[in-house]
Structure 1
Amino acid sequence: MSRSERLLHLLQVLRRYRQPVSGRRLAEETGVSLRTLYRDIASLQAQGAHIEGEPGLGYILKPGFMLPPMMFSQEEIEALVLGSRWVAKRADTHLAAAAGNALAKIAAVLPADLRDELDASTLLVGPAPPVTDRIDVSLLRKAIRHERKLDLSYIDTDGGETRRTVWPFALGFFENVRVLVAWCELRQGFRHFRTDRIRQADISETRYGRRRQVLLREWRETQNIVPPSGRRVGSA
């Protein structure tokens, strides 16, 4: 384990504790000697980590410390690269571009050796089947972020067109389709709407009646979902 990975591990262990924990306990959990632990704590404190305590009294990490990007482990870098590559192939154009921009920002502040790991990542994402949407999916994401009602023109499985006013709160990305999850005012219940069947979507100025986090929690409860999987909801 490299020194940067060791420091990251120590921070993650400290985050689990709400009360001061002894240096000996931390040394056991991180697999280092007590002397090395004290040096590592001093290094983290020098980098801005709000670790309070001293030998004999224990240590605690105060809230608010932001982990610097240079502290990413090699596996975390691989996860970031793989995730950004997946988004670039599976998401809408705007989100795909944002994934590339985010990865570039991370690369700009990484030390040279970790930046090389990022550039040389061999985790690849295969080609994705085309998803043809009639609308700009970024509009749906905007409605979710701002908790605004959406007025939809939707094509059902029989080819008929219906008008729906919905409260959008989640967007699912699958191999061949994207799905908007929303509370439907017409059906008075949670429904899934395939984005390739949405003919038109207009964002209302009206906020919907509950927070999206509440809607997401209620939807999971109705489906007996322990995130992120569960039963399907009713059809649109």
Structure 2
Amino acid sequence: MRRSDRLSEIIEIVQDGRLHLARDIAEQLEVSVRTIYRDFDTLVASGIPIDGERGVGYLLREPVFLPPMNLSLTELEALHLGMEIVVAAADSELQAAAKSLNRKIDKVATVNGKVPKDWGFGVFSFAQAKVGFEHMPRIRTAIRAKEKLEIAYVSLDGHASDRVVWPLQNAYWGNVWTMTCWCEKRSDFRSFRIDCITKSRLTGINFDDEDSALLTRYLDRVNTELAQKPDGKT
């Protein structure tokens, strides 16, 4: 289990307002008690209102939740559909988050006390979208940390190349994912299909993109090019 997933599980466990012993949580999550102690230290340091101490137990002072919202059945179906798409079409990290969110929705988003049974449908074939998902966690990490990424890429016409890129944004187009980035080889913006990436590696080298200026420049360029086309089409 990823540490981020374990931290989410710990929050879910202590949300019942009762006192929980670290050894019980450790047994449930199949990790050491020392690991649970460190996890609680991390949660407290991040601002989660948890009270307790080692050897005594831990409890959540107040729940962590979104403000109450009244959603229609159609809105609930749309929310659930979105999570089903993520479960079917994303990498393991996002799949785990979507499944967790689905469980939370099922607990609180009810109609007359019951969750509709006919949810859980999909609208796309995700076979092609799944290709290359092993690279998605690294790409997201690179975007968040502004870290350069080495990739091996095979274009649709079969041309292979190695690139060092500065990942800026992922986009989903209904059947494939693309990565918008600055390509050092071309000294220009490029958009690569993630299912065409055969290898990826985080370099540990950061790039300079203060206040996301590169992505803003790219989007401005796209909007300008669209405005210059007579029919406004790509």
Aligned partner of residue 93 in structure 2, secondary structure: helix
Aligned partner of residue 136 in structure 1, secondary structure: helix
Task: Output one character per residue of 1:116-151: Cα deviation in whole Å (capped at 9) or x when no partner.
Answer: 24x435473135141222843222122112221101
Aligned partner of residue 223 in structure 2, secondary structure: coil
Count, aligned residues: 162
Question: In the TM superposition, what is the alpha-carbon distance from 1:190 to its structure 2 partner?
Answer: 1.0
Paired-residue identity, % = 30
Contact 2:152/2:160 (8 A) holds in 1:
yes
The structure having more radius of gyration, on CA atoms, is 1
Query: 1:125 maps to what in 2?
Result: 122
Q: Note the 1:32-111 alignment, pairs <5 A.
A: 67-69=66-68, 71-108=70-107, 110=108
Contact 1:168/1:180 (8 A) holds in 2:
yes
Aligned partner of residue 193 in structure 1, secondary structure: strand
> What RMSD, in angstroms, separates the aligned Cα atoms of the two structures?
2.9
Question: In the TM superposition, what is the alpha-carbon distance from 1:210 to its structure 2 partner?
Answer: 0.4
**Structure 1: tracts of 5 or more residues without a match:** 1-65
The residue type equivalent to 1:130 in the other structure is A
Q: Measured at CA, do residues 157 and 101 of structure 1 come closer, stay the same or move farther in structure 2, by a change above 3 Å?
A: same
Give me the TM-score of the superposition, normalised by structure 1: 0.58
**Structure 2: tracts of 5 or more residues without a match:** 1-64, 227-231
Q: Note the 1:1-236 alignment, pairs <5 A.
A: 67-69=66-68, 71-108=70-107, 110=108, 112-113=110-111, 116-117=114-115, 119-120=116-117, 122=119, 124-126=121-123, 128-131=125-128, 132-133=131-132, 135-211=134-210, 213-224=212-223
Q: Which runs of 4+ in 1 moved over 4 A?
A: none
The residue type equivalent to 2:145 in the other structure is H
- Greater shift, 88-97 or 182-191, is seen at 88-97
What is the distance in 2 between the residues matched to 1:231 and 1:95?
Answer: 32
Contact 2:147/2:204 (8 A) holds in 1:
yes
What is the distance in 1 between the residues matched to 2:133 and 2:70?
Answer: 42
Question: In the TM superposition, what is the alpha-carbon distance from 1:170 to its structure 2 partner?
Answer: 1.0
What is the distance in 1 between the residues matched to 2:223 and 2:69?
Answer: 39
What is the distance in 2 between the residues matched to 1:190 and 1:91?
Answer: 25
The residue type equivalent to 2:121 in the other structure is L
